[in-house]
Structure 1
Amino acid sequence: MVQTEIKASPASRALRLFADWGIAETGASTLGELIEEIRDSEESRPEWDEIAKIPLSELSNSDQSIQDALERWATGLREIERSILWDRMVPAESMESLQALANEHGVAYATAWSIQEALTHKLAKFVETGDGVPIRRRTRIIRTTIGVAMKEETANELLDLDPGTNRFRELLLRVAGPYCRDRGWLVLDEMRPSDPTEDLVQSVGENERLNERLVSYRLERWGLEPDKHWDWITRDPRVREFRGKLVRWGNTLGDQAVLALSDLGAPATSREIGEYLGDDIQPRSMQVAISRDPRLVRSGPKLWGLRSWNLPEYLGLAHHMREVLEARGEMPIAEFLEFMERTYGANEPSVRAAAEKAGLGTAKGIVRLRDDAKPAPRRRK
């Protein structure tokens, strides 16, 4: 009589304790009879409670079943096909290169590659036969669990697919999908062309924010479960979570300044922009970047805004002092100082220092343009 092998694990210990209790306390002689005894009993038995908690995956020796199925199938293969199967598709240790196998069997690399491709198709057909049931069941579980895509680390943990311990990992992923690797994820190869990530990244407006409702809608239509959406879209290096929002993170400081100003909604200094971005950006580097970016406009002595806001461009304090008085004629000094600070952020010492250059004169508490002052130049477009 062949004794059924149970994997050495906490599950096997629980099963032995359950069997010992059954033999000692009941008249059952088989597992089926013992389960019937438990079902008919109103008492709670700790031995049964332990058994009931065991995951089926711990009782299943699926790897051995897959090994047996492949061994039966391999008996009908040619020698080079068996080498490709055991040394490349399901290597016990390191994977052999196809070139090395080609050399070993005295064939060209292209021939070995063709044999490997044909063997993959043969395997797919075998899996659908009665002898291929162990592989078919395992790959269906993999396909159902991973779906369109899943983080590789998560899949390894959920499906016992650790590359260091499961020699059938690559074969199972090939048959189940095939699945390919992409930035730490396993992705169903046939679904990659319809991945909406690129469209979503390119669809952002000037505010650099992704439409999160559209992201969820498109990814769900693609087949990705909602709890994976955020992680999937941010795996793209161009997308980040920034202050609780999904944004397209530009490669240049100018791109990032546009993002910060869009989020702030008001002009800011280069230092404020850098601090808002929070990436330890040097104010001088930010100042240089934004002064060269055509999407940004200087709106005050130290302030920058988006050109799309249609802000008046700041052309220097003296210029704007002349411009104000050309429009208004003359103003009380206190009112003029208050206006320049409110509108351009210029304090009183700065205004007084620029008065000579601006061609301003004062008398009896009134500020006006001197007769010899040149008119303010026209604004740049």
Structure 2
Amino acid sequence: MKLSLRHSFGGFSLDLELNAGAGITALFGQSGAGKSTIINAVAGLLRPDRGRLEVAGEVLMDTESALHMPPHKRRFGTVFQDARLFPHLSVAQNLDFGTRYAPRNADVPRDAVIDLLGLAALLERSPNTLSGGEKQRVALGRALLSAPRMLLMDEPLASLDAARKHEILPYLEQLRDGPLGLPILYVSHAVDEITRLADTLVLLKDGRIAAQGPLREVMSNPAAVPLLGVREAGSVIEAIVQSHDADGLSTLKLRAGTLVLPTVAAPVGAKLRLRIKAQDVMIARTRPTDISALNILAASVVGLHEGAGPGVAVTLDVGGERILARITRRAVEALGLRVGTSCFAVLKSTTIAPTSVGR
């Protein structure tokens, strides 16, 4: 998808160019950054002042030629913050409603969608008997059964509590990694969601693109810290489950060694992505001894980025992976940290929450 968009309203203006390819492209920004306006423009629910939208070589919108394809002809599956199910229809009937908008020659894999989203036990139930997470799974299934060329997801988990969000995230991971292969444009202001799901990350600020690129590159860029928030900023690394131990801990294999975490709900051999918050990483010049933290990784400093306050974002190379640590300027000076300095990254096992571990 190629999108150029310029639009002004109520003292706010959007001006951006965006490419969204395969996988999940996440739009992240604080409230008012323009995320939902972009989704509405792509879906055809907004006529921008100026813009052009092209998907798979087909132009769906071009203000210069006054082309504005109506929403129902764009073949996007849209999932909003609220599920918007038909209350008078059963789950099965809500799902079948999606097939009405599928092209006649589309081979809609109804059973595969039901299996993918775990909906078989819900088919005869009424929407008003479902939990929030179940409703969103049904809404997602209905969107998939319309045989869309792309999914648009606008804050789909924002209305769910932590437990329901944790319930539905694995289904979204399966959708990302499964055989359907649909590109997804995903809007969220929750860092835990985007770090688990996104392949590409676009950071928005005041209607402009402040940073974009592969998720791990953008997350490990110190310049992204103020955009993500100092308490949420961090890095994303890959790991493989090596063992589940009798004391309730799991050992994960990294490029730089091993990482010990509370029991990870994944089989031995599974590849995971881990979000490590910058504020949870300590730095030592020599390998610590007699310390409760179980995770000590050899590292070297590859970047120092001073913020407006007393904090410094330190980029560490750990076996070829990039990890961010956020420490004070005073600590940088006391440790004598410079680009090229050898050191150790120290992490407590409990700092990486289960919600920060994804497939």
Q: TM-score, normalised by structure 1?
A: 0.26
Higher relative contact order (CA 8 A, sep 6+): 2
Structure showing the higher helix proportion among its residues: 1
Structure showing the higher strand proportion among its residues: 2
Q: TM-score, normalised by structure 2?
A: 0.27
* Bigger Rg, which one: 1
